[in-house]
Homo-oligomer: A and B are copies of this chain.
Amino acid sequence: MILKMKYVHYGKCVRCGKLYPATPNLTTCECGGILDIQYDYEAIKRDFKKEDLKAREKSMWRYRELLPVEDQTAPPPLRVGWSPLYEAPRLAGILGLGKLWVKDDGLNPTASLKDRASSMAVAKAIEAGADTIACSSTGNAASSLAGNAAAAGLKTYIFVPSRAPKGKVAQLMTFGATVISVQGSYEDTFELSKAAIDKWGWYNRNAAINPYLSEGKKTVSLEIMEQLHWKAPDFVALSVGDGCTIAGVWKGLKDLYAIGFIDRLPRLISVQAEGCCPLNRAIAENKPWHPMEENTLADSIAVGVPRNPDKALNAIRESNGLVVNVSDQEIMDAQKLLGRTTGVFGEPAGVTGTAGVKKLCEAGVLGKNDSVVSIVTGNGLKDVANTIAHCGEPISIPSDMELLLKAFAERGIHPEG
């Protein structure tokens, strides 16, 4: 076969090392391992310079040389990526941290980081000549695939666990997906989607099976580093469920290091929910991972059987990373703290990374000498039920100044400043 991707060598199994030609519908290795897309970094180093970026569109597709798509493949219609990176000096001050930046990836078209993988999936599905894409997802990958596919005129079959928040389901239905809400865990959902994909041959957007998807996700790292003018922070913190996102984040950092755009690698901070932390437990105990219950309100990372443990564990270990688990209360506290100090509203799993940073600051692990980027992976509007339950009630009164004065007095509010 003729390889039309100038800078891509092949897909390589992370478990057994077997190589595969990088065809658009590549899935896992025959040994069951997930593949990693391997690039010709020398050629990229030769052809791709930081200055080339100046004139390019502000989207994830600006890093074309580092993306596994054929030369003639156009970026799919929705404008994914180039989400804002905010410096957060007040929050850093409260936490006692040297420097803190917040990457608000909830501002992607369907309101989560998953748009990066879905945009890639749509591009590769079109290369493969497919007209239908399918996935299973805790919610964000689902709504993201449905939106990106709808914009490109492709059909979607989406499998979500029945616990998926209403906001995500509303998106799916609006984008015209065929939605199968599976009464069971994420594991049950994944298995049914796998069987259906095998049966009908839809293009597979399960991030732990399709090796191109982490290549989309890695663009969040490429952007962070460009937004920091290629000066790497000490740490990059994010929430971890399936493991695909942290694997993508690490891949992006290694790419930039390999082509000489950054001169050191940050350490990763893997944050999971206490009630569902199989990957962090494996790292902390230095043992193989084992399934766990899915006991957390942070639905996007409630993944008891992570589907990408190999890449995720490699990433944390290779980066000399930190792991930290947080309670649901700590997650919701972080949501509020982040909102009132930075104006960023993340969904529970979206702010779990920030909750982990806060906990590590309180434990004295992070402090004045450390610089951290915290990735907010999804928008708080995706799941307002949990926010409503935790954020308290507004003052509720008829339109009457006397009642307003009374309400302020009762609550100790001093409106005169």
- A409 at the A/B interface (Cβ < 8 Å)? no
Contacts of A151 on B, CB cut-off 8 Å? Answer: 86, 342-344
B166 and A200 form a contact (CB under 8 A): no
The docked-state distance in angstroms from the alpha carbon of A331 to that of B373 is 41
Beyond A398-B183, A413-B178, is A343–B388 a contact (Cβ under 8 Å)?
no
A180 touches B340 (CB 8 A): no
Contacting pair B172 A394 (CB below 8 A): yes
Bound together, the chains give a CA A179 to CA B110 distance in angstroms of: 28
Report the minimum CB–CB distance from A332 to chain B (whole Å). Answer: 10
Closest Cβ of chain B: how far from A89's Cβ, in Å? 10
Instruction: Name the interface residues of A48-98: CB closer than 8 Å to any CB of B.
Output: 58, 77-79, 82, 84, 86, 90
Contact B340 A176 (CB under 8 A): yes
In the complex, A352 has a CB within 8 A of chain B: no
Q: Judging by beta carbons under 8 Å apart, are B399 and A188 in contact?
A: yes
Count this chain's copies in the assembly: 2
Residue from the set A155, A202, A343, A380 with the largest chain B CB neighbour count within 10 Å: A343
A-B contact pairs, 29 of them (CB 8 A): A58-B58, A58-B82, A79-B84, A79-B86, A84-B109, A104-B109, A131-B417, A151-B344, A155-B417, A162-B396, A167-B167, A167-B381, A170-B345, A171-B339, A171-B345, A173-B394, A174-B335, A175-B345, A178-B395, A178-B413, A178-B415, A179-B395, A181-B394, A181-B397, A182-B399, A184-B399, A192-B399, A200-B417, A379-B381
Which residues of the partner chain B approach A385 to less than 8 Å between Cβ atoms?
166
**Contact call B183/A396, Cβ cutoff below 8 A:** yes
How many Å lie between the Cα of A384 and that of B394 in the bound state? 20
Given contacts A171-B381, A381-B381, 15 further A-B contacts (CB under 8 A): A77-B86, A78-B86, A79-B84, A86-B151, A147-B343, A162-B396, A166-B385, A167-B167, A169-B388, A170-B345, A170-B387, A173-B336, A179-B394, A181-B394, A183-B398
Residues of B within 8 A of A196 (CB): 401, 404, 415
A116 at the interface (CB under 8 A from B): no
Whether A343 and B175, one on each chain, are in contact in the complex, defined by CB atoms closer than 8 angstroms, is: yes
- Find out whether the CB atom of A416 lies under 8 angstroms from the CB atom of B77: no
With beta carbons under 8 angstroms apart, the residue of B107, B200, B340, B381 that contacts A150 is: B340
Docked Cα-Cα span, A385 to B165, in Å, equals 12
Cβ contacts under 8 Å, A384 to chain B: 166-167, 170, 384
Q: Is residue A371 within 8 Å, beta carbon to beta carbon, of the partner chain?
A: no
A111 at the interface (CB under 8 A from B): yes
Q: Mark A326-346, 1 if CB is under 8 A from B, else 0.
A: 000000000110011111110
A189 interface residue per 8 A CB criterion: yes
A399 neighbours in B (Cβ, 8 Å): 182-184, 188-189, 191-192
| Nearest B residue to A77, CB-CB | B86
Nearest-neighbour CB distance to chain B for A74, whole angstroms, equals 13
Closest to A169 in B: B394
Q: 8 shortest A-B CB distances, which residue pairs?
A: A151-B343, A176-B340, A174-B339, A179-B394, A173-B391, A381-B381, A188-B399, A170-B384
- Known contacts A381-B379, A395-B181; is-contact A336 B176 (Cβ 8 Å): yes
Beta-carbon contacts under 8 Å, A361-417 to B: 379-382, 384-385, 387-388, 391-392, 394-401, 404, 407, 413, 415-417
